[in-house]
Amino acid sequence: MESFLIKGGVPLHGEVTVSGSKNAALPIMAAALLTGEPCVIRRVPDLSDTRFMAQILKSLGAEARFEGGTLTIRARNIRGYADYELVRKMRGSICIAGPLLGRLRRARVSLPGGCVIGARPINLHLKGFAALGARIEIEGGYIDAAAKKLTGSTMFLGGRAGSTVLGTANVMMAAALAEGVTIIESAACEPEVVDLAKFLTAMGAKISGAGSPTLTVTGVEKLHGAEHDVIPDRIETATFAIAAAATGGEVTIRQARAEHLRAVIDKLTEAGVSVRPRGGGLAVRRDRNLRAADVTTLPYAGFPTDVQAQMMSLLALAPGISIITERIFESRFMHVSELARLGADIEIEGPSAIVKGGRPLSGAPVMASDLRASAALVIAGLAAKGATQVNRIYHLDRGYEKMDAKLRKLGARIQRVQEK
């Protein structure tokens, strides 16, 4: 297994370009299953998760070719069965269920199971499929969704923590080939859902309201091939912005879209970080001394759960008490005990982490537990004095394209080494 060896304490300076969004690319890749014609998807980040999704599509019978960030997918003849060995490795792969149901009227997909950040139920996906007229059975760890005919209907897809991103994506994809009009209330408003709607529209789907809580899909008989450019990754953007702030540097982030990051920019500003538009991107600089700030994760346009861990690393450096409340995934605090190994003083109280910030961090070996927790540990390691070894960075490679190379370009002393 590989690790990052970081010699911290160097302020990051320079320019970095963000890659295409992982969480936009994954459902868009799945959407290519809705047609037998070729789809060309550009700016697909080269990550283990996107490669894995391509492998899943191939296992279903599609052709998928990845060349310099452009993925060409052709799903001429496909089957509607995805087994546990594939699905369990990446929970995001559940978004193949909607397109399979839409195209084949049958999807037999393994239940993904929980993971380290929380339970990851899919009851809302199934509620949506059932509302379209699918008969759902769960047997032997598989969901079997089948329908002679899919019929549009009005449904409410809000759950315990609000809307569901992949649930909305799944139902929108199935509804694109249903008969009649589907209205999804409490639909997810994330930019990744909007990007998927844009791709589906390019394929011939009729969708309105994407980006709002009421999403309307008017079913069509057939979809055709299309081309698409995936949006820049807002979570990667936030991660580099926080890394720049945590190290006291100044970084210009190219391709960054401020309109996707209002809540993050607002909290960074409150914490004493300057974020300004520059040359089609964003310039991030730590202006003043860092200040404590309270953060609560929420569905979009609230503060993203996928940036909670990274923000915690920054607030651990800010003198004063910051309260970080996680409202999306109940156990997404695995990074807390690892940050403590670097000297951070953080206590968990129910859904909140109380960060007593301002203590100097010093390097130590730490263990990455999930994708965003890994990014938080890298940020803390970059800001800490001395050497930090972040182990198990395969988590990080799932969602960040060439993070070590990008950080080195900004002056960071970071090397990929074999874990000892």
Residues known to be catalytic:
115
CA–CA dist 244, 313 (Å, integer): 12
Residue 47 found at the interface with ligand EPU (CB under 6 A): no
Closest CB to ligand EPU among 307 and 382? Answer: 307
Stretch that binds ligand EPU, among 62-70, 98-106, 158-166, 177-185 (CB under 6 A): 158-166
> Contacting ligand EPU (CB under 6 A), which of 119, 138, 405, 417?
119
Residues 201-220 that bind ligand EPU (CB under 6 A): none
Closest CB to ligand EPU among 255 and 310? Answer: 310
Closest CB to ligand EPU among 249 and 304? Answer: 304
Residue 35 found at the interface with ligand EPU (CB under 6 A): no
Residue 160 found at the interface with ligand EPU (CB under 6 A): yes
Number of residues that bind ligand EPU (CB under 6 A): 26
Stretch that binds ligand EPU, among 51-59, 101-109, 123-131, 265-273 (CB under 6 A): 123-131
* Binding string, residues 163-182; x marks residues near ligand EPU by CB under 6 A: -xxxx---------------
**What Cα–Cα distance (Å) separates residue 205 from each residue in 103, 213, 237?**
13, 19, 30
Stretch that binds ligand EPU, among 56-64, 156-164, 197-205, 352-360 (CB under 6 A): 156-164
> Contacting ligand EPU (CB under 6 A), which of 6, 39, 62, 124?
124
- Lookup: tokens for 359: 């203590």
Stretch that binds ligand EPU, among 116-124, 246-254, 265-273, 405-413 (CB under 6 A): 116-124
Closest CB to ligand EPU among 250 and 306? Answer: 306
CA–CA dist 69, 128 (Å, integer): 33
Smallest gap from Cβ 177 to ligand EPU, in A, equals 21
- Lookup: tokens for 158: 């809000």
CA–CA dist 216, 219 (Å, integer): 10
Closest CB to ligand EPU among 118 and 351? Answer: 118
Residues 54-113 that bind ligand EPU (CB under 6 A): 92
Q: In what order do the strands lie in the sheet with 206-208?
A: 154-156, 181-185, 214-218, 206-208
Q: Using alpha carbons, select from 340, 374, 373, 376 the residue that is nearest to residue 359.
A: 340
Residue 401 found at the interface with ligand EPU (CB under 6 A): no
Instruction: Please report, as ranges, the residues that interact with ligand EPU according to CB under 6 A.
Output: 23, 26, 92, 118-125, 159-161, 164-167, 188, 305-306, 328-329, 371-372, 399
